[in-house]
Each structure stands twice: as C-alpha cells, then as structure tokens.
C-alpha cells in the first residue's frame, strides 16, 4: 500500500508542469543616493593624534548625529576606560550598519553577564536596563532583560521592581498592566516611593489612586518629587 502511494505521488509530480519562471526585473538605472556627509566633529573624532578629551567629545557629538565610524571610535574610547556607555556606543554603530559594532556590543554584553549573581542584584538590574535600552533589541534581549530584572527584584532590589513595572506599563513591546501592577506593588512593599507612584499612575479608579498615594505618603511622600518617567500629578 505504501509503495503504491509513493508511486502515485511520483507519478503525480512527474505529470504536473513546473510553474513558469518569472522574468528577472530589469536592472534599475537610478543611482543609489549618496551617503550623507560626516558631521563636522567626525574629523576630530577619528584623528588619533588629537588629545583624548578632544576626541571624546567629538566622537560623542558625531555619534549622536548617527555617524557610524564615530560611534565605533567612541565605543573604543569607552571600552579602554571601562566606561558605562560602551555597549550603547557599539549598539548604535550596529544599528547604523557597522558590523563591528554588533560584534563589539555582543562581546561587551558577554563580559557583563558573569557579574550578575544572586548576591549582586544591582549588577543584574543594570544589565537588564542595558538590554532594555538597546536601540533594536531582539526578542532574546527582551526576555533576558526581564529575567535579570525579575531576579534582582526577587532578591530585594527595589529599583529592579520599579524598572520592570515601568517597562510593563509603558513599553509597547512588553506592555502588560497586570504585571506592571505586580512589580510596582512589590517595589512599594520594599519602601520604594517610585513604585508607589507607579501604582498611582496606573490605578484605574480614584479609590485605588488614593490608596496608592496613601502608601507613598507613608514613606516620605516621594510622589511629590519628579520620577524617572516624568512628574507625578498632585494627589486627588
């Protein structure tokens, strides 16, 4: 029976005609647009004879104008001094199309991962925020960021709880108000006023807003201060 089915399939395949091949489109005669000129500060950035402080500012300025080679140069300067924006610079270069930027970004992320342990929740939270801040994070980057921040939150690092609450409240890529409430609530329990303020911001009705505000007021009323994601409204 099986041999008959195979034979039938072979016969059917032989009998059918292959689909016609579409003609290859004619080559475009339109010239590719010329790349934009480098920003004025790029020359000083890429001149290795310039003092480091001059190159440093020039590279940062040019990178902020999305000049790929300047982002690479700024990343190299930051890496040499173990600066905090090394990953940012290489990630931006990667997003602009500099392949070395992607390689260097991943290499420096790999160096940061061993610093995150159960006994070092701050390092886990910092790495999580670094991953969230990537210009074009992959699904794997976001999943790792959430896992790291959750680990730090579970180990009592309130800022990680607040950060996760903020991401779940505001980031379209992971938005989930139920989880935002969960992490803000945990942060508020850990006496982090920003977590209480977050609960206030996402509360769906006036009674819940008043309850969140009361919890914040019990820990110095920090909701009266500007928060990392903008000013909190006056109490109801």
Q: What is the pLDDT along the chain (236 residues), one digit of tens a residue?
A: 434 443 433 344 444 444 444 444 454 555 556 667 899 999 999 999 999 999 999 999 999 999 999 999 999 999 999 888 899 999 999 999 999 999 999 999 999 999 999 899 999 999 999 999 999 888 999 999 999 999 999 999 999 999 999 999 999 989 999 999 999 999 999 999 889 989 988 999 888 888 888 888 788 755 654 444 455 555 55
Q: What tokens appear for 220 in the block?
A: 């110095």
Specify which residues 227 forms β-bridges with.
230
* Cα distances (angstroms) measured from residue 179 to each of 74, 78, 82, 159, 182: 37, 36, 35, 15, 5
Instruction: Write out the H or E segment, with its range, that includes residue 62.
Output: helix 52-64
Q: What tokens appear for 123 in the block?
A: 């390092």
**114 contacts: CB under 8 Å, gap ≥ 6:** none
Specify which residues 104 forms β-bridges with.
none
pLDDT of res. 185: 96
**203 contacts: CB under 8 Å, gap ≥ 6:** 209, 211, 212
The model's pTM:
0.74
Contact 101, 72 (CB under 8 A): yes
Contact 183, 168 (CB under 8 A): yes
Alpha carbon distance 182, 226 (integer Å): 22
pLDDT of res. 97: 94
| Secondary structure, 3-state, 1-51 | CHHHHHHHHHHHHHHCCCCCCCCCCCCCCCCCCCCCCCCCCHHHHHCCCCC
Radius of gyration of the chain (CA): 26
């Amino acid at each position: 029976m099986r041999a008959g089915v195979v034979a039938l399939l072979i016969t059917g395949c032989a009998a059918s005609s292959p689909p016609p091949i579409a003609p290859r489109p004619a080559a475009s005669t339109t010239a590719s647009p010329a790349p934009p000129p480098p920003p004025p500060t790029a020359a000083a950035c890429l001149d290795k004879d310039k003092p480091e402080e001059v190159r440093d500012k020039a590279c940062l300025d040019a990178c902020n104008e999305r000049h790929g080679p300047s982002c690479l140069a700024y990343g190299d300067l930051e890496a040499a001094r173990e600066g905090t924006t090394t990953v940012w610079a290489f990630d931006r270069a990667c997003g602009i199309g500099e392949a070395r930027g992607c390689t260097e970004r991943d290499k420096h992320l790999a160096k940061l991962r061993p610093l995150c342990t159960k006994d070092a929740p701050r390092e886990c939270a910092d790495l999580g925020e670094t991953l969230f801040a990537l210009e074009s994070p992959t699904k794997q980057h976001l999943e790792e960021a959430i896992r790291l921040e959750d680990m730090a939150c579970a180990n009592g690092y309130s800022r990680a709880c607040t950060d996760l609450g903020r991401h779940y409240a505001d980031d379209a890529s992971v938005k989930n108000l139920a989880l935002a409430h969960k992490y803000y609530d945990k942060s508020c329990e850990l006496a982090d006023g920003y977590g209480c303020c977050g609960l206030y911001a996402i509360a769906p009705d006036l009674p819940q807003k008043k309850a969140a505000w009361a919890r914040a007021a019990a820990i110095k009323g920090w909701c009266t201060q500007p928060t990392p994601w903008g000013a909190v409204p006056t109490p109801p």
